[in-house]
Structure 1
Amino acid sequence: MHRLRRRGLTALAVVAATGLALTGCVILPPPLPGSPSTPGTSGTPGASDEPLWSPTGEAVAPELEPYFGQDVDWQDCGANWCGTVTAPMDWFSAGEESIELAVTVAPATGERRGAILYNPGGPGASGVEYVQSYADYLLHPDVREHYDLVGFDPRGVGGSTPISCYDDPQELYDWLWEIPPGPAPEPLSDEDLEQQLESAQWLGDACLEHTGDYLQHIGTEQVASDLDLLRALLGEERLNYLGVSYGTLIGSTYADLFPENVGRMVLDAAVAPDSTDFEGTLYQAAGFELAYGNFVTDCLQQRDCPFQGSKEDALQQTRALLDAIDADPIEVADGRQLGSGAFFTAIAANLYSDAQWETLRQVIADVAAGRGETAFAQADAYYGVRPDGSFEDNSLETLIAVNCLDYPPVTDFDEVRANAEQIMAAAPTLGPDFVGLGSCAAWPFEATREPHEITAPGAEPIIVIGGINDPATPYQQSVDLAAMLESGVLISVDAEGHGQYFGGNDCVDRPVNEYFLDGVAPAGQIDC
């Protein structure tokens, strides 16, 4: 992995590892036959139409009345309505400081029954961007006909009041991939972990310098509170919600804080809210190990597979290749050095769906041949790095910052090493790339959320969907979440990939659509 052996660069979950995680936590389902050829074009409001939403007018604390009673200036933005909502900077000590939240609404294509709020995951993904680009691919057409689909940028993200961690994007890029000169220290030695701590310190200081105290107010409990404000401003008595990946943690946290306001909620590719930093990393290491093993089994049946021999041989060849690049990085044409951190990211980024396996075969074949360009292109694209070295958005910074507030980090060196033994035992091939100090080890603020079980007593039924071969949010987390929720209902899906709803599997789609349309939840667990 990266010479600094920062686990932050290899903890690939959307949450749970307080280090750096891959941001592309959602693989959008392919359009269904007969779906519109251009996403996001149905339901155009038209210049003469007026939005239908008005606040519920519900009673709130006096200091919150200006927020819940605000008049949102909805603007026609093509296929959608767009608006900006003002929210308290800190919901749990509401003062005069406020932030802005970017919101977009794709109107129902037919007779409207209400609104469904949507989050694609991350942390750091833009719900505004997803809904504006893919509205017709996120909900089944029958559901889109009757429901507005609402996307929002969580606080800290994109069009909402953002956070930032740099002036020059090269600073963040170097933090991401630069390999220091000289020999690498022994993995997990005190010297190695001290270097990781220095790296984490640089990042924490940079984010605080460029963001200020707002940096401590973007955790998931704050985001869930924003969600309740959006519900009320859209005139919804209860929250109808579809969350994917990290979006499921937002949803379960909402149910924890506001169980009486839960409407028809669906949590796809779930995160267990009681998982600690270490437990989440252990889940992920095992999940990606499973997914990679499935890839290897398929690869050995393809003519262009870069491996030879048995599955076990291929796994050993993979580990040997990662270790070799760790010891001797590959220099690419522009002078950059491809270390095993970037290579590992390129591997993991292509394990979210079996549709990506062809690309993964090419990445591995090129690296085995001493060519690093393909791997760098995949790793950079996954973190939203443009060819000129700038970043598409601030999703990487937000990802780290939210996780640092959501999960108390492990900082004791002996505990890090003990955890590493369990991780590598669970994932012999990829596990070494999950161990070390996280990027939150020197974060300037303490975590504001303590992982805990969520039962949400009194909430309406909450559907939880888990893919058995999901690498990023492994299946057991969906099982655990559905079991702890008093009204949880589990849909288990024997499939590859991350996120299962509206992916062409009627066993999954039918009960979810029925719940959204008719309010009838499955009576018990469904196995697909």
Structure 2
Amino acid sequence: MPRTRRHLAALAAVATAAIALSGCVILPPPLPSGAAPSTDGAPSWSPTGEDVAPELEGYFEQDVDWQDCGANWCGTVSAPMDWFDVGAETIDLAVTVAPATGERRGAILYNPGGPGASGVEYVQQYADYLLRPEVREHYDLVGFDPRGVAGSTPISCYDDPQELYDWLWEIPEGPQPEPLSDEDLERQLADAQWFGDSCLEHTGPLLEHIGTEQVASDLDLLRALLGEQQLNYLGVSYGTLIGATYADLFPENVGRFVLDAAVAPDSTDFDGTLYQAAGFELAYGNFVADCLQQDDCPFQGTKEDALQQTRELLDRLDTAPIPVADGRQLGSSALFTAIAANLYADAQWATLREVLSDVSAGSGESAFVEADDYYGVNPDGTFADNSLETLIAVNCLDYPAITDFDEVRANAEQIMAAAPTLGPDFVGLGSCAGWPFEATREPHEISAPGAAPIIVIGGINDPATPYQQAVDLAAMLESGVLISVDAEGHGQYFVGNECVDRPVNDYFLTGTALTAQIDC
């Protein structure tokens, strides 16, 4: 992304200007839909009937109108707009349930990350790829769209999608200020303020109430309405922050929890950016080492030579963007997005070699295909969903923004030291520097005393949620235990590693928890 970092927020799951996603776990094509739910008649889940504050009784006693939606059941749940100051304002939460394929033992709620990914979409399309069959046999798999996302009461930040598209990709005309100069940072601040003001204009009061602590409170409502005394949960990427936050707020209600590709809840905006800059630098270095062994690699020489050639290519696009057929110009921002999007799994490396070869030869078409796909941009320039807007908005409430120019420049030095190849694309002001609301969550350690055992999974070469965050989360949780995986990729459960899958399956099926770290 360009030095503005405004676009990096769209890749972030942790910090307002880092990179990280949700659903960047690589999945196969959706299975054919249309089968009826594997239950006789409508579901009969009954609320737990637990005691709650008087102003919450109507929410915890509501009768959800479950509808047949193909292979699943779908419903809409009403929740307070603000769990921490309950008033008359309500929001809707979209929920879907893929019924257990055999004898039901309970429900597992699932979140694919983001922020901004649709759990409803994931469960409806990929249920059989999210839990191993032996677990699916006994558990309903529940997907939900977090507040602000897709089928739940959504946020919006524009009338005309061209506005958002230009904000992402438009290359300013004329001479550009020196990177990280006051003039450059003032321009970035103006960009951030425009985006925040636009989101407030098109969303209204909800924009202040979509942070992770609100989402975790929604989870407890869903648990109760499904009749579960404790919440069983599988969260990936940002979904691990939702899970850890739930354990912080409701430790007594934690059931069988698995947090895969973990986000450390005490990480600040800068911590997350530094983590990810180093993580993507590591992943790109691994890609380059492999690339040099392939016949179609666009680089030559040693690994260090190839990294230098990459930086030169990105810098060249800053001053001489490549025109493409539709009139756009490929700058370093779009190429960086295409690179980052293809570092989540080594299965994507062939695509990345093709993109880099094309750009090196002066063609920007394939890079824009990857960048557009990453942001969910349709061929007609519209956006497939509001995940980009939600990603930024949630992060702005979860992480106090860094606005001091001198602090931004000092942080840039550390980032560049950790990531000399990709680091320049991580520095600058974040998209939240001009956000209309203060952050509602303060990053902090979470110990969740009294919670049931929580499995934390970390991949050593995970670029988006680097391994150290999983180590840190498992250590700070009183009941946390780590599965460490020496592998590429973002997310390690159900990707073919029995060393990971076996203890997770055992925990879901029998409640047998790990007592010590496992190294896979």
Instruction: Give the TM interval when normalised to the shorter protein.
Output: over 0.9
Report the Cα offset of residue 28 of structure 1: 3.6
Q: Secondary structure at the match of 2:429?
A: coil
Q: Which of the residues 504, 507, 515 maps onto 1:512? A: 504
- The answer to whether the aligner puts 1:203 opposite 2:195 as a matched pair is yes
Report the Cα offset of residue 9 of structure 1: 1.6
Give the counterpart letter for 2:260 in structure 1. Answer: D
Q: Is the contact made by 2:241 and 2:262 (CA closer than 8 Å) also made in structure 1? A: yes
In structure 1, what is the Cα distance between the partners aligned to 2:164 and 2:475?
A: 40
Q: Is the contact made by 2:336 and 2:425 (CA closer than 8 Å) also made in structure 1? A: yes
1:34 equivalent in structure 2: none
Q: Secondary structure at the match of 1:7?
A: coil
Report the Cα offset of residue 45 of structure 1: 3.5
- The answer to whether the aligner puts 1:44 opposite 2:37 as a matched pair is yes
In structure 1, what is the Cα distance between the partners aligned to 2:32 and 2:230?
A: 28
Give the counterpart letter for 1:526 in structure 2. Answer: I
2:224 equivalent in structure 1: 232
In structure 2, what is the Cα distance between the partners aligned to 1:13 and 1:395?
A: 10
In structure 2, what is the Cα distance between the partners aligned to 1:239 and 1:24?
A: 21
Deviations 1:348-385 (A, max 9, x none): 00000000000000110111111111111100100000
TM-score by length of 2: 0.98
In structure 2, what is the Cα distance between the partners aligned to 1:268 and 1:22?
A: 13
In structure 2, what is the Cα distance between the partners aligned to 1:26 and 1:41?
A: 26
Deviations 1:66-106 (A, max 9, x none): 00000000001110000000000000000110000000000
- The answer to whether the aligner puts 1:422 opposite 2:414 as a matched pair is yes
Q: Which of the residues 210, 219, 222 maps onto 2:211? A: 219
Equivalent runs, 1:116-265 vs 2, <5 Å: 116-265=108-257
Give the counterpart letter for 1:123 in structure 2. Answer: P
1:26 equivalent in structure 2: 24
Report the Cα offset of residue 201 of structure 1: 0.7
Note closer, same or farther for the CA distance 1:116–1:223 as it changes in structure 2 (3 Å cut).
Answer: same
Note closer, same or farther for the CA distance 1:193–1:16 as it changes in structure 2 (3 Å cut).
Answer: same
Note closer, same or farther for the CA distance 1:39–1:274 as it changes in structure 2 (3 Å cut).
Answer: farther
In structure 2, what is the Cα distance between the partners aligned to 1:22 and 1:207?
A: 21
Q: Which of the residues 330, 354, 358 maps onto 2:350? A: 358
- The answer to whether the aligner puts 1:16 opposite 2:14 as a matched pair is yes
Deviations 1:166-218 (A, max 9, x none): 00000000001101100111110111101100100110010000001110000
Report the Cα offset of residue 10 of structure 1: 2.7
Report the Cα offset of residue 13 of structure 1: 5.3
In structure 1, what is the Cα distance between the partners aligned to 2:86 and 2:95?
A: 22
Give the counterpart letter for 2:176 in structure 1. Answer: A
Q: Which of the residues 322, 335, 341 maps onto 1:330? A: 322
In structure 2, what is the Cα distance between the partners aligned to 1:293 and 1:28?
A: 20
2:53 equivalent in structure 1: 61
Deviations 1:141-161 (A, max 9, x none): 000000000000000000000
Note closer, same or farther for the CA distance 1:280–1:39 as it changes in structure 2 (3 Å cut).
Answer: farther
- The answer to whether the aligner puts 1:266 opposite 2:258 as a matched pair is yes
- The answer to whether the aligner puts 1:396 opposite 2:394 as a matched pair is no
Flag structure 1 segments of 5+ consecutive residues without an equivalent: 32-36
Report the Cα offset of residue 522 of structure 1: 1.1
* Segment of structure 1 superposing worse, 207-216 or 10-19: 10-19
Report the Cα offset of residue 41 of structure 1: 6.9
Q: Which of the residues 349, 370, 374 maps onto 2:362? A: 370
Deviations 1:392-449 (A, max 9, x none): 0000000000000000010000000000000000000000100000000000000000
Equivalent pairs counted in the alignment come to: 520
In structure 2, what is the Cα distance between the partners aligned to 1:41 and 1:53?
A: 23
RMSD value, Cα: 1.4
Note closer, same or farther for the CA distance 1:369–1:347 as it changes in structure 2 (3 Å cut).
Answer: same
In structure 2, what is the Cα distance between the partners aligned to 1:519 and 1:7?
A: 44
Note closer, same or farther for the CA distance 1:13–1:472 as it changes in structure 2 (3 Å cut).
Answer: farther
Identity %: 81
TM-score by length of 1: 0.97
Note closer, same or farther for the CA distance 1:285–1:194 as it changes in structure 2 (3 Å cut).
Answer: same
Note closer, same or farther for the CA distance 1:426–1:42 as it changes in structure 2 (3 Å cut).
Answer: farther
In structure 2, what is the Cα distance between the partners aligned to 1:144 and 1:438?
A: 40
Flag structure 2 segments of 5+ consecutive residues without an equivalent: none
Q: Which of the residues 397, 404, 408 maps onto 1:412? A: 404
Q: Secondary structure at the match of 2:137?
A: helix
* Segment of structure 1 superposing worse, 17-26 or 424-433: 17-26
Q: Is the contact made by 1:42 and 1:136 (CA closer than 8 Å) also made in structure 2? A: no
Q: Is the contact made by 2:196 and 2:435 (CA closer than 8 Å) also made in structure 1? A: yes
Report the Cα offset of residue 7 of structure 1: 1.4
Give the counterpart letter for 2:126 in structure 1. Answer: Y
In structure 2, what is the Cα distance between the partners aligned to 1:54 and 1:24?
A: 31
